[in-house]
Each structure stands twice: as C-alpha cells, then as structure tokens.
Structure 1
Amino acid sequence: MGFALEQDKHYTYRDYLTWPDDFRCELIDGKIYLMTPAPLLAHQDVAGEIFTQAKLALRGKSCRAFIAPVDVRLPSPAEADENTDVVVQPDVFVVCDVGKLDRRGVRGAPDWVVEVLSPSTAGKDQIEKRRIYERHGVLEYWLVHPTDRILTIYRLINGEFGKPDIYPLEEQTPVAVLPGVTIDWNELAPYLRDDDL
C-alpha cells in the first residue's frame, strides 16, 4: 500500500484525497471500509444492465444515472467538503439535482441507489450503508440479491426508511422516485445463472 493507516483514527475527505488512486475504499462515519478486489463478472453484468436501463429511460431528462466507481460525498448540513466523513461508491445511482454534481463526483444524496449484493459486501450494504443512505436522505434504496433472486426496496418516508418491500427478480419493477424508469428483470436473466454467482 505504501502508506500507513491508523486503526482507530477518524478519517475525513481531506485524508481520502491524499491516498493513492489504487487504494480503493469507502468512508462511513470516518471509518475505512476497504473495497474488495474486482467483483465477479456476474455482479458487473447485473449492475451494468441496471445502469443501462436507467440511463436509457432518463435520456432527455434532467436526472443522470451513474455506475461505480464514482465518489458520493454525504456531508452533514453546512459541513465543509474536507470535513465530510462519509464517502461511498454505490454500484448504480441516479441524481436529479445537477447542483450536486461537481468535478470530483457527487456532493449530497442521490435520489435512487442500487447496491448489488455479493458475499463480501452484503453486510455493509444491508446495515451500514442502509443506515447512511437513510440518514442522508436517499429517497429510494434497492438491494439486489442475485443469488437469491430477490429485490429489497427501502423508500424514505418522513425521513426514515419504512418496512422494506421484497420482490422476486421477475418481470418489471418501477422506480417509484423516477417516473418512467422501470427495470426489466427479464433482460438480466442471462446474468443470474447459479454457476456465475
């Protein structure tokens, strides 16, 4: 790695910007979460297909779809960028407020976030990141479970994620916060084979 990290130190975006480009991590409440080696090809296929469908559905609209790696900084209100201690890289996400976009990525909560679960990241995505996305105002959070072939959806209601809705990865699922955007799971069927997951 070429540099030392202190186990109990609280890190911020200021620190994050000094780290080498090949040191991939996320910051959640100042704690470093190392990114695993590149995900399996099936994970990338699923994320890529969701991104492609969203991007095509949003063509000509003000909302923009993104796919990892893009830094999403989630500061507290009025917090300076360098003091932000939450920097994540969702698998797929959409931002409708172009004022949140800058040359370094995104500052503020996306409207829609999708995380494709893998064994090495499932706990972080379902616990830490769900809590962070709720706290910072992500309107809709999808957890795609390719192995189990289910989709868990959290929607922000009165500042909190309510009880999740759970669906099979079948037919189509509309994105409630993005009218006109629907994910067609039939298009993902080739990427959901048991031997690839």
Structure 2
Amino acid sequence: MAVYMGEEEVIQKNMALAQEKVYTVEDIEALPEGVRAELIDGQMFYMATPSRKHQGLVIAISGMLFAYLNQNKGKCAVYPAPFSVYLNEDNRTYLEPDITVVCDRDKLDDKGCHGAPDFVAEILSPSSRSRDCLLKLIRYREAGVREYWIVDPERETVMVYDFAENKVGSYTFRDKVRVNLFPGLEIDFAGMDLN
C-alpha cells in the first residue's frame, strides 16, 4: 500500500528527525513500502508526494533526454525518479534525484547508480528547496556530477551548474536551455504544456 505525505507533514517529520541519530542506507531500505526518503551525511529527509506540475516537468525533461540519447545511440541512459543513487561509499548518503543520466554503465546495477551520475536535475518543491539548492548542490559537485540543474516550477526558473566547465547559467521557462553534456540538445521549456 502506497503512503502519500503532503508538504507540511514532510517538513514536520524532517524537522523531528534532525539530529536524532546518524542514519544509513540500511535504514532507508527498512522503510515501509511507499515511504520515500533520502540520506545526506547520515541525516534522513522524508520526501513528499510530488505535485502534478513537478511530475509534468520530470516527464517532459526525461522524455527529451531519452529521445536525444536514443537518436544519437550513445552509451548514456536516463532514469526518472524513483531511481537510487548511492553517491558516496560511506553508506550515509543515498539520493533519489528527479532525473538522472548515467553514461558509465559500470556504475549501474539492479539497485541503481553507485557513484556520481553525469547529469542530475532536481525539480524543486517546498519541502526540498533548501536541500536541493544547498546540500545536494555541494554533494553533487564533490562527488563528480558533471552537470546539475535546479528547476523551480514556482518561479519558473532553471539554474544550470556545469561543474565540468565551472560555469553557472540562469534561465526562465521562456527559454530553450542547452544541455551542456550533449551537443545540440536543448530543453524547450516554452514548448511544454504544464497547465
């Protein structure tokens, strides 16, 4: 049976968990079916059920990435959430990015990705904003993610962190946003029907 948590409930649960104990991947795996959470440096963060607009963005962006990768017959693969990323080998960081692209198939197994994906996009929600914009930004960069997008459906903005080139770009939903890892690929936010 799936468990659905709203934004307020998730924020309250996450605040209650703060500094309780150091959690590990084993704690994540022991959660009841349907309960999703992430770990950052041993702190557990429950995840709210995403909004319709959030899911629309995940589907649209993942679809454009999939079409490009399929057409260009590359070795990379795209995985929309839920998809497990075991970012560090320390067993205290486990993430489920909204969109993950992995080009090194040796990092993949049936559980997910072990190590840094090449591309990650997070779609912000009220309960994940600070985590996605600060904690994950730092962790992804340190781990070796090459490109990280923060998509804000509320403000209709996209921040692109090209860690490989040490560049940052800021865009709106009126723009076509270039995926720096893949020549010729642009995500057309203006062309998305998100209403």
In structure 2, relative to structure 1, the CA distance for the partners of 1:92 and 1:6 (3 Å cut) is: closer
Q: Summarize deviations over 1:111-131 as a string: whole Å, max 9, x none.
A: 111111122211111011111
For residues 59-115 of structure 1, what are the alpha-carbon distances to aligned partners after superposition, in whole Å with 9 as ceiling and x for unaligned?
02210001000110011xxx3xxx411111111110000011101011111111111
Within the candidate set 66, 71, 77, 1:55 is matched to: 66
2:46 maps to: 34
> Deviation at 1:177?
1.5
| Secondary structure of 2:100 counterpart | strand
Letter matched to residue 121 of structure 1: S
Number of equivalences? 178
Please tell me whether the aligned partners of residues 101 and 118 of structure 2 are also in contact (alpha carbons under 8 angstroms).
yes
| CA RMSD in angstroms, aligned pairs only | 2.0
> Matches of 1:25 and 1:66 in 2, distance apart?
18
State the alpha-carbon separation in 2 of the partners of residues 186 and 35 from structure 1.
28
Structure 2 portions without partners, runs of 5+: 4-16
Which runs of 4 or more aligned residues in structure 1 lie more than 3 Å from their structure 2 counterparts after TM superposition? Answer: none
Structure 1 alignment gaps of length 5 or more: none
Output aligned runs, 1:96-175, within 5 Å: 96-157=103-164, 162=166, 164-175=168-179
Task: Find out whether 1:73 has 2:90 as its counterpart.
Answer: no
Q: Does the C-alpha gap of structure 1 residues 12 and 135 become closer, same or farther in structure 2, counting only changes over 3 Å?
A: same
3-state SS of the aligned residue for 2:92?
coil
Counterpart-to-counterpart distance in 1, 2:20 and 2:175: 46
Cα distance in 2, alignment partners of residues 109 and 182 from structure 1 = 23
Residue pair 1:100, 1:107 contacting (<8 A) in 2 also: yes
Query: TM (normalized to structure 2)?
Result: 0.83
Any conservation in 2 of the 1:66–1:93 contact (CA below 8 Å)?
Answer: yes
TM-score, with normalisation over the residues of structure 1?
A: 0.83
Identify if the C-alpha distance between structure 1 residues 157 and 57 changes in structure 2 by more than 3 Å, giving closer, same or farther: closer
What's the offset of the Cα at 1:163? 5.9
Residues 174 and 181 in structure 1, CA contact (< 8 A), matched pair in contact too: yes
Q: Is the CA contact 1:57–1:180 (under 8 Å) kept in the aligned structure 2?
A: no
Distance 2:31 2:18 in 1: 13
Counterpart in 1 of 2:13?
A: none
What per-residue deviation string (whole Å, max 9, x for no partner) do you get for residues 161-196 of structure 1? x563111222421111122432111332x20x5xxx
Contact 2:47 2:127 in 1 (8 A): no
More contact order relative to length (CA 8 Å, sep ≥ 6): 1
Measured in 1, the distance between the counterparts of 2:111 and 2:190 equals: 35
1:118/1:14 CA distance change after superposition, 3 Å: closer
